[in-house]
Structures are given as C-alpha cells and as structure tokens.
Structure 1
Amino acid sequence: MKTTDMSTDEFGRLDDDRAAHLFKLRNGQGQSATITDYGARLVSFLTPDSAGELRQIVLGCPDLASYCADACCLGATIGRNANRISNAQFQLNGRTYRLAANDGKNNNHSGPDGYEHRLWTTDSYDDRHVTLRMDTPDGDQGFPGAMSITVCYRLQDDGLEITFEGTTDADTICNLTNHAYFNLDGDESGNILDHTLQINADTFCPILSEDAIPTGSRQAMAGTPMDFRKPCSISERRDPAFDQIRLGHGYNHAYPINKSPREFGHMATLASAKTGIRLDVFSDLPAIQMYTGDYLSNTRARDGHCYGPREGIALECEFVPNAINSDDPIKPILRAGDIFTARICYRTSIIS
C-alpha cells in the first residue's frame, strides 16, 4: 500500500501546522474521486456525461481554509451521530447523556466538534482506495465509550463505494454517514430543482417544527408533495405552501426505505436530463435523508463564489434522525464489543 508521504498531495496546513492531504482515486471508466483526510471528505467526483465530457457532480471548496470554515459539511464523514438529537440529550442504559446544543436547543451532526473538522489518520491508500482512521476517547462529544472508526473510499468500475466500521468499549450511539451534495448538471451549474428523483420508500417521517426533528411516526407519502415513489422532477413536487416543505424550508426529511433495516439495497435514483447522468444510491442503512440544500450559503465554491440554496442535494443514508429519543423501532445503538458496519454506494450510469 502507498503511504501519504510517498504519493499524496498536501492540501494545506491547519492552525496547529499539521498537514492535510489529498488522495486521488481513478478507475478504468474515466472517473476520478478525490478525498481529503480533513474531515474524511469527498472533495471531487468526476464522471463522464452522455457526450463523454467529464462533469464534476459533487459540491466542493477551493482550498483547505474554506473547508475549515464550512458549516454545511460538504462531502464530509459525519459522526458519531448523523443528524439531529432533540434537546441535545439522550438516555442509554438508564443514564442521561448531554451533548452540545449547536442547533437551537438540539444537537446536529454531533457538533460543534464534529468529525468533519478533524484530521484523520491514513491507514492505507492506492489508486483505487483510501482508508482513514480516527480513535476517539470515552466522553468524546458527550457520547459514552471509546471508539475506533475507519472509513474507506473505493472507486469501483461503476462508481464510488464508502464503507464504515466502528468498535466501542462501552454501549454508545453510532450513526455514521457521508454528506456529499450532488449536482448532476455539474458543479456551479445552478440549482438541482430540474433533477429527477425517485426514492425507494412508501412513507416519510414528518417533522413538527422548523427544527426538522421527526415526530417518530411514519406517514404515507401518496398524494402529497413528499411523493417520490416514481421518478419525477423535484420542482414538480416542491410546493412551498405544503406544511412539511414550509417547516423544513424545503425538503429536509427522512424516508425509511422499503427493505429490511440492515439489508443492502436500492435507496434512491437521481438523474439529470441535461447531462444524461444517472446516480443510483445503495446502502445497508435503514433510511435516507433527502436535503435539498435550502440552507446552503457562505461556503466558498471552487470558482470562488458562495454556494446558494438548492445548488446541491444531499441524499444521506443513515438512521432516522432522533431515533434514540423517539418511538422509531430502529435505534443507532452500538453495544460494547460489537462491530458497526455500514456501506454506501454511489453508482453512476448514462440514462438510456
């Protein structure tokens, strides 16, 4: 395996003078993906469009300093718990654990000291994969148990696979995901509202207020603007007056997927008629969070402008937000001695 000092590019230096690096992966289909050990982030994903031209299909920043300032988690590995925990606290084994309230009265993405702003260690690297590691102590971010976590990015012939693994010495929460924002028209090409989306779900998790925390119930999506059972454009469905879209300032909702909770299966399909690029999302996680980036702002794009609302869509494979505190039957609990594993695949093709 290659090591960082042999074959990677330095991305920049942090305030404490530690160096961050870039790892470029390639396959035989003309695709490339670039990863940084800062936040274990997906920085770039280039794939051919229907005309054979390479398109940049994920949002990204121009330099390390911009990623350090990024509050939107572009391409980041999220943990120890992705998404929201109500009132910034939860109970486990009869004990209450309190987290930082970094999103109103709630906790979001385990911030403010999230994994997206930490420098990970490189375990292994070649031109098709990179594996990054982070070891965290008991009490880190307020969560119980010391954890050892790895994330592996692997560029396969049909797209990008991300695998997570984690172990703990005490019962804890583990809900890891990737937070890439996609725009299949190409980065800096405008909003994603004309993209076609299909989600492999019959229900969604409604929210009660603008904090975007689900109620714990599941609601049929048929006949509502939440209905993506069949492929349709996001703009066709989006109705700002609909209560769920109004509360979420757009789509910011979890969809439990039509499969066994930890079965590997199809989650969603995103497609662009402009470029002919189709993206199929597969995972063994139980739900997908559809977020149309309505809060995107003040994060520098590659050309120097700041991303605006709806310039990218995040399709986050994860547990339902706040499941630890709700009646949702699938909890992101990792028991001491067990191994957390998760797999996300972004498979690309050309619309036939």
Structure 2
Amino acid sequence: MSKNVAEHLVDLMLAAGIRHVYGMVGDSANPVIDAIRRAADELTFVPVRNEEAGAFAAGAEALITGRPTAVIGSSGPGSLHLLNGLYDCDRSGAPVFAIVTHVPSPEIGTDYFQETRPELIFADCTRYIGYITSPSQMPRLAVLALEAAILERGVGMVIVPGDVGVMEVEGPTDNRPLGKSRPKIRPLDVDLDTLAERIEASSRPMIFGGEGCRDARDEVLQLASLRHAPVGYSYRAKDILEAGNPNAVGMTGLLGWGGAHHGLAECDLLLLLGTDFPYRDFLSTHATIVQIDDNPGHLGRRANVDLGLVGDVGDTLRCLLPRLTQRLDRAFLDTTLERHVEAVDRIQAYVNHEGSGQGLRPEMVATAIS
C-alpha cells in the first residue's frame, strides 16, 4: 500500500534510530504529527511550549544519547522559533533532523500569510536542506537530510509544504539503505612516527581534550600517565576527563578554573585532542602545538598548529601509544597539580564560608544539595 510523504518521513526517522520528535501541534505541521501519532508505539511526539525549546531539547538529547533526534516547526513563526536552537545544535555537532513545514505549495512566492523563505533563513545553521515540493522527491531528499545530520554531525533539514505532507508517494526514489555509520580514520604511520618523536622530545607536555575524547577516555589517560602530562579539558569534555583522572587540572577559557592555566602557560608541547576550543587567547602562544581531530576543518583554525593530524582520537592514540616510552620526570606534572590544588582551595573558600550572618552563601547550599 502506498504511503504519503508524512508517513515516509516517519518510516525514515525510525530507520535512523530517532525515538523522539519535539515540537508543537498545529497548522502545516499536522500531517506529519498525525503520522507520528499513528506510530506512537515506536516514535514519541514531545510537545513543547515553544519551538525554540524543542530545538534545544532535541540537540541535548542527541548529544547525551549519541542518537539522532528530530524537531518540527509549522509554517512562518513556528519554524522561525527553531532558529536559535538549531544554530546551537549545528555548532555543537548534534545530529538533529529538522522538519520545517511550510505554506501550501501553490501559494509559495505570493507573500502568502506567514510565508517566509526557510531555505535562506536556515542556510547558515544546517548541513543540508531538502525542499520537498513534490512527493516524487521522497524519500530521497529526506534520506539526504538524515544522512547529513548523522554523518556530518549537525542539522539536516527538510522543508515540507503542508499540502505536500498528505500527498501519496507513488514511485519512491532512492530506496537504498540509510547511511548511519560514520567511518573512523587515523593518520598515516609516517605522521604517527613524527608525532611520537615530538612527544618523546618534550619535557613539559600538556594535554587539552574536548568532545572528541568521548570514546577515548582510557587512551587519553594512558597517554597522560605514560608521559606524565597534565590534562585540561573543555566544558564538553569535563564529564569525560575529570573524574577519576589523577592528572586532571581543570578547565581554561571563560569558565576556566584549576591548574590548567598554569599548564598551558608553561608547557613546551600542547596536544589538542578532539577539541575545537574557541578561545585562542587562553591557549599557549609559545609551545609546539599538535592537534588531532576527525574533522579536517577544525585543524589550525583556533591555534597556530605545528602538526595537524586527521583522525579519530581513540584510534589514533591506540596506534600512537606503542611508539612511546615511559617518561620518568614528573616535575612539570607535579608543579601543575600543586597549582591545581591551590586553585581548588581558593574556590572552596566560597563553599566553606558561612557568610556574614545574613544567610548562607549559595555555594555552600549548592554543595550541600549536591
């Protein structure tokens, strides 16, 4: 039995592993939302009070679970409310499938009620936009949007006029399987040899890790232990590299704390692992900088990188570690850890201080609750 455009969208979302669609009921979004209702055993519609909140929620779920998530907006202001949240999703690398529904297709280009130009409005916060004006374009354009979201880690979007959502797809295009697996790559052996030589020659190595270390915690900690390197981290890597890490020295940047600032200021080799840390003023200006990232576009755009290697952090380190020897000198690590303890003690002063008799300090209350 043939299916309409909205039903094909639901089938593709399920095939992609999407389990939740955030949004608001109404207007041009209703055909898709009704198709979601009929698949309620497998796909849950999550109503929100504002589409912007829905976009933020979809991005948060995608980052926490590692699965793609979806959000939907109705024509005009409904979809415009998605903009801020989708910018955050795309910049954070959250795999989000955005369904932007639109005015009736015969009215496009006539300054119709609440008509906008979504293909232009969302161009800067998406990896792909498929404009579905005919059922004959399904499921191909939706597949391309989903693959962009998953494989490129960002927002993949389809624009669907309300009347097109209920049209039957008589001759589906591109029935190939949906691509869902991102390949893992590592640098060439000759580049790993060069990296190993630079690490071995360093007397004050420092590691600064980001989100790209999420599946490489063990390898990062093994490298830090092998070379007695302090480990700083971005905000998105705090939950990965802080707890249970004897070499952890906190964060830097606008939310910086701990010994990371000292380590970055005094290191002679800085290893940037899976991070696109934006605040270049907080990074070392004199050390040799090596950056490893699976996105070549990240290499060298924040810091003056001496060696940039394209590769998955975990796979790269697994190939690198056998090339390294155990370093004996702990002086730089111990000094940085001492600075870290001092900095943490200064922060704890706000926790331990009982205030001036006019009530408890918020830091003390938050710590007690935590």
TM-score category (smaller protein)? under 0.3
TM-score by length of 2: 0.24
Per residue, is there more helix in 1 or in 2?
A: 2
Q: Quick check: which has more Rg, 1 or 2?
A: 2
Per residue, is there more strand in 1 or in 2?
A: 1
TM-score by length of 1: 0.25
